[in-house]
Amino acid sequence: MKINKKYIKTLNTALLINGDTLNELPKMESNIIDSCLIDPPYGIGFLGKEWDNFSPKAIEEKVFHHQKIDNKKQSGRSSSMHAGSYDLSLAGARGFQDWCFLWAKELIRVIKPGGHVLCFCSTRMYHRLTVALEEAGFEIRDTLSWNFGSGFPKSKNVALVIDKIMGCPNRGHAIATASTYQVSTGKPLPPGEDLPRYESKTKESKGWNDFGTALKPAMELICLARKPLNEKTVAKNILKWGTGSLNIDGCRIKDESSKELQGRWPANTIFDEEAGKVLDLQSKTNPSRFFYCPKPNNKEKNAGLEGMPKVRRDLRDEKATGVMSKKSVQPQQNSHPTIKPVTLLRYLVRLITPPNGVVLDCFMGSGTCGIATYLEGFKYIGIELEKEYYEIAKKRIQHYINNKKIA
């Protein structure tokens, strides 16, 4: 389907496409999109999902099947053929970056000069995503952080691992963890009860009881990028294209305790409910009211999906790593594992989109950005590779349209 200026003018509310972004973006006319809010795969092999797989075979399919990279122009990129599924190697990281570069260079073509992009990524691969956007031609304007208190730590106790390789038959399993669930058993920790620290079972592990391998994840980064202006000033660019600025006053945060009558100036930090409460306890001015957004509840995730079968959203293949309790992840209709809050995406899409703008989301997932865009009164184009998520997105977005629901 060819998407051009004429089609954009006739677009009523939303266009949803079930297809590969690398195939669908080239079908779009240049300079027709006002803004872009995306949450692409993070390149970390998340829960063993195929769409976040950057193994050598997957890289060949995702990158070289669509377009071979000119190594003379992109030095060192051929090493992506050897990329692993988040294997921490330089080659593995370049594989993810190569893939990001391919869709980013199409994205910069379809977006209007001065148009902004907000792109989520993990802290581990954010630098690769940002470099890909920059190499594609975008200006990196800022980095936003969404801070939350419910991350799942994947640290290993060093002493316990040493005891294991030393052949210690009974290492125990109830050791302290940063999560509300015990990693080794998947069972919830007793409320209000502190578990004892792990005690070494062999002389080789003594002194390593307090050491682990990772921090608890409590933040996702969001890259704010902009396609370069093609006029000498922002004002002239806005007069020609309608893009180039941020909706500052539209994103001010109202706070009765603040002396600023217009509300607080939007900044580059956002908190979820748990992180906000912790910060509120440390200040009399309630700083979390600057940038506050709770994580989505089950009602929000599954709205419009009544009648669909319930499934666990963390189903993985045999190669997946990590432990997640069946008790901690209950089956639900929305099977997407990384659902963002509608409130958060409304705030972000409002920040970067001009009046009557068209928002592109080329990694639609379960459609939260489409819901946010509708509620903010913008037009929406969403692209999703996975048929399962595409069908979920259609039902969720249509639910809000049918009910004229205001989040």
For 355-387, the pLDDT digits (tens) are 999 999 999 988 999 999 999 999 999 999 989
Nearest to 124 by CA among 268, 212, 220, 47: 220
Look up residue 299 and give its amino acid: K
- The reply to whether 278 and 290 lie within a common domain is yes
Give the residue from 216, 236, 269 where a domain finishes.
216
- The reply to whether 207 and 241 lie within a common domain is no
- The reply to whether 244 and 364 lie within a common domain is yes
**pTM of the entire predicted model:** 0.80
- The reply to whether 40 and 124 lie within a common domain is yes
- The reply to whether 30 and 163 lie within a common domain is no
In b/e form, how buried is each residue of 265-293, taking b as 16+ CB within 10 angstroms?
A: ebeebbbbbbbbeebbeeeeeebbbbbbb
- The reply to whether 209 and 242 lie within a common domain is no
- The reply to whether 39 and 106 lie within a common domain is yes
Strand duo 33-38 + 111-121: pairing? parallel
Q: What's the order of all strands across the beta sheet hosting 358-361?
A: 14-18, 379-384, 358-361, 33-38, 111-121, 219-226, 139-147, 269-271
In the prediction, which pLDDT does 309 show?
A: 74
Q: Write out the two tokens for 199.
A: 């005690």
In the prediction, which pLDDT does 80 show?
A: 29
In the prediction, which pLDDT does 286 show?
A: 56
User: How many CA atoms does the CB half-sphere of 316 hold within 13 Å?
Assistant: 18
Structural domain containing residue 15: 5-49+58-67+97-147+220-306+339-403
pLDDT digits (tens, 9 = 90+) for 248-258: 999 987 765 55
Q: How many angstroms separate the CA atoms of 73 and 93, rounded?
A: 19
Residue 314, domain member (yes or no): no
Residue 138, domain member (yes or no): yes
- The reply to whether 175 and 268 lie within a common domain is no
Q: Give me the numbers of helices (H) and strands (E) for the chain, helices first please.
A: 12, 8
**Under 8 Å CB-to-CB from 229, ≥6 apart: which residues?**
113, 114, 237, 244
Residue 275, domain member (yes or no): yes
Q: How many angstroms separate the CA atoms of 271 and 287, rounded?
A: 10
In the prediction, which pLDDT does 116 show?
A: 98
Cβ count near 320 (within 10 Å): 15
Residue 39 DSSP label: -
Q: How many angstroms separate the CA atoms of 139 and 123, rounded?
A: 20
Phi, psi of 153 (to 5 degrees): -70, 140
**Residue 26's domain is classified under what CATH number?**
3.40.50.150
Q: How many angstroms separate the CA atoms of 224 and 143, rounded?
A: 6
**Crossing angle for the helix pair 368-375 and 342-352, nearest 10 degrees?**
60
Give the residue from 216, 238, 258 where a domain finishes.
216
How far is the CA of 219 from the CAs of 29, 99, 366, in angstroms?
36, 23, 21
- The reply to whether 137 and 201 lie within a common domain is no
Q: Write out the two tokens for 394.
A: 């259609």
Residue 318, domain member (yes or no): no
Residue 194, domain member (yes or no): yes
Residue 88, domain member (yes or no): no
- The reply to whether 189 and 44 lie within a common domain is no
In the prediction, which pLDDT does 192 show?
A: 42
Q: How many angstroms separate the CA atoms of 333 and 310, rounded?
A: 4
Residue 370 DSSP label: H
Task: Give the number of domains in the chain.
Answer: 2
Residue 177, domain member (yes or no): yes
- The reply to whether 158 and 201 lie within a common domain is yes
Kind and range of the H or E run holding 251: none
In the prediction, which pLDDT does 293 show?
A: 62
Residue 368, domain member (yes or no): yes
Q: How far is CA 180 from the centre of its chain?
A: 23
- The reply to whether 233 and 277 lie within a common domain is yes
Give the chain's residues under pLDDT 50: 46-49, 51-52, 55-56, 64-86, 176, 178-179, 181, 183, 191-193, 315-328, 406-407
Give the residue from 161, 183, 216 where a domain finishes.
216
